[in-house]
Amino acid sequence: MEDETIMTDTTTAIDADRELKAKHRATWAQGNYAAVASDLIPSLGPVLVDAAAITTGDRVLDVAAGTGNAAIPAAERGAQVIASDLTPELLDIGKGIARDRGVDLEWVVADAEALPFETASFDVVVSCVGAMFAPHHQRTADELVRVCRPGGRIGLISWTPEGFIGRMFATLKPYAPPPPPGAQPPPLWGNEAHVESLFGEQVRDLHAERRAVRIDHFERPEDFLGYFKANYGPTIGVYRSLAATPERAAALDAELVSLAAAFSAGTEGAMDWEYLLVTMHRK
């Protein structure tokens, strides 16, 4: 009977994880994340490539690569690149972008918490505001380390809790369905102490630096709201969950407009979105 209970619990956990990953894929497939990456944060990929010192001949894995914001610039440096992501729709768009830019790289559907690559098989492992959205942080960090060779480099860019995107997710949270048990908030990856605790003794030379990217795409806070409701998967998902409660959707509208107004005050409509840039070597 005890063995049957263990098997049942294990099967239930596997099914729950499969369902959670399916929801994540659906979240990022909706809207137009390719537009978000190209309109708002195209500079972040090259920043990460520079920080990780990617060069010709490096074997590079971009985890949760989306449409290739870091993977494509890495390939343009002459690196051998694999771009992996849970959402095949994003990889398909990335393939077209890479083709248009004349670079060749491999695109693989993969879960950041269970990467289908051999241990110590990459010189550099990076993720640009991607791996932070995997729900189980320690599993993800362990996988990033596992696939990196000893002495290899790991580079990450993550939104901070205090920055605009971190604050936006905090604003969305009370309106969103409750997260599944064990799922951790993505912006925690933007907290230095949290990142240090995840990687611990597995790495050396961990360096964390807070920076900001200037966003000047929106003339008014209302423009930001309309853009994110149309294009950004997590925002779209929350609003869809509020379809039967228009008064709550209107309240969320007001909160997000207020947040954008606060971040653009005194900058002629532009916003500075803070992120944490982390580099380290695997021991």
The overall average pLDDT reported for the chain is 94
Residue 5 has pLDDT above 70, yes or no: no
Residue 9 has pLDDT above 50, yes or no: no
Identify the three-state secondary structure at position 209: strand
Distance CA 255, CA 262 (A): 11
The pTM for the full model equals 0.93
Work out how many domains the chain is built from and give that number. 1
pLDDT of 260 = 97
**Structural domain boundaries, residue 270:** 2-282
Distance CA 228, CA 233 (A): 8
Distance CA 138, CA 195 (A): 9
pLDDT of 11 = 46
Question: Can you give the CATH number for the domain in which 196 is found?
Answer: 3.40.50.150
